[in-house]
Structure 1
Amino acid sequence: MDYMIVQVKNLRKYFGKTEVLRGINFSAPAGSVLGMLGPNSAGKTTTINCLTTLLKPDDGSATIAGYDVVTQPAAVRALIGLTGQFAAVDEELTARENLVLFGRLLRLSSVKAARRGAELLEQFDLTAAANLRVKKLSGGMRRRLDLAISIVTEPLVLFLDEPTTGLDPYSRRQVWNMVRALKAQGMTILLTTQYLEEADELADWIVVIDRGQAIAQGTVDELKNRVGETFCELRLADPGDEQKVRGSLADLGEITGSTTLTLPAAKGVVTLTEVLRRVEAIGVNLTDVSLRRPSLDDVFFALTGHTTDPHF
């Protein structure tokens, strides 16, 4: 059984009379990436703030490697790193100076802080920008520097709160590669993200949070299987062939759509092969055919009833 390095049990948090966290429960296995998904105001950032000791929960419990976030906050802080939604760097200092500064604040000697800073500059592909003031760095460089700062002391658990928001696709993928590298080093990562593709790429486990509660948890595959099976999509070259195709494939399951037809593929590639054989036999041309599993977008909508927009 996996060791659950993060455990959250019946966690509650009020802001005034508003209950933001309503008895949330979930856990994260050591050495994994846990993706936290949810619409706006679901409670994701509040949960992160409680787990990182920035907020004190009003009820329930949360532990990091067995240490309680309320009764043992200093021990928890010694084990974690945090990259928030906004880069926590000094724009007047250089990239190297920022790393050394945080190393010293975390009680590394001047020699060790300088050595660790040099290691991180190389690891995060920032060596060429080491002596540039942060205000002159691109958004992607700033984000990588912020991520580097969060692991100066090599935490057991790293919290990433929407780490790629606002980045261009190339910079986002650079951050993804770094997250994968940190996981390969044995780090446990809790990731909130507004990009479902990001969670699909990086997360081993997913917890879906809605209205202050964890409404589903499991591996990406487990959650996708809850929504539905694999299905075939057929795009017809001639919309007038729809009824002919429907008649040929009717016994394979319910068919939906019009120009693009969708039907269940319980046997995966075997079903797809049979579909293609029948379509060819009736002389119908297709512009595209694919075998697709439910996406995390499908999971998200099915579980929460919310559509996914760029700022959920």
Structure 2
Amino acid sequence: MDLDTVRTFVAAADAGRFQEAAAELAVTQQAVSKRIAALERSLGVRLFTRTARGAELTIDGQAFLPHARELLRVAERAAASVRSGRRPLRVDVIASRGAASGLMRGFHRAHPEVDLDVVMLFEIEAAVAAVRSGAIDASFRAVAVPGRPLPPDIESVRVLDEPLQLLTGPAHALAAARSVPLARLAGHRIWMPGIVPGTEWAAYYADLVAEFGLTIEATGPNFGSDALLDTIADTPALATFTGGHTRLVWPDGHGLRRIPVTDPTPVYPHSLLWHRDNPHPALTTLRAHLAATATGHDAAGTWSPAWVTGDAA
């Protein structure tokens, strides 16, 4: 059902004259008559009768009028829901406990007036496709994975270098260390069942292993962070890497240790991705907030893969 014909019907019903409805809609009286006639053909009923005083609703017209008004209200609400600045800003943070989620919590505290929808997409291909289609406004990712450059319509800016920490149980050989040089981890078993081939973090850890001779095991099913922490706490031979900004909670009895890694400190690069033609005003606010709170990247004494890009915006 054409909304212009419905809008014209309501205007004519309220005015009682086609001529006044035409003036309100800024069209000709002939256009009003044609729209009403088209609506009547579509519905299979007469909506108006012509009288000396103008146009009066028939019984069918009276029955249709409240529904016509509701159709226009629904259409307006639908348009408002996607109108620039009216709908929530939709941002992909990958996981609820990661650094990107923390960045968005900081943004929300600084800008509580901005409505947010936070989503979690696993694969970078899905995230980039969602950004390009407009399903989401932005995504936090590591860019650019070797062999998979971003499409030319996707912008990116590096917003956070997250230092890695070693997470051990209380009986691990390194548990008492206040910090540990990266080279000292060679020969220790680092267990990370969450590494999935093809992801940007898999590419990151593959380069880390190749450059520093580490042993990272991704064997076994991934039952999530809680199960990982249970195993690390109970198994002295295993440790794992975690991001310094990643939120982890474990029972008091676990006695886990978060140990800074140094000489150099591996940092995981987080970038914000968005479509260059996205007009949402809150996206500009988010980018400005991240730019103001960023601490820089590629600092002395840190390491990240050669393929990691800096500001591409």
User: TM (normalized to structure 1)?
Assistant: 0.23
- Between structures 1 and 2, the one with greater strand share: 1
- Structure of greater Rg: 2
Larger RCO, structures 1/2 (Cα 8 Å, 6+ apart): 2
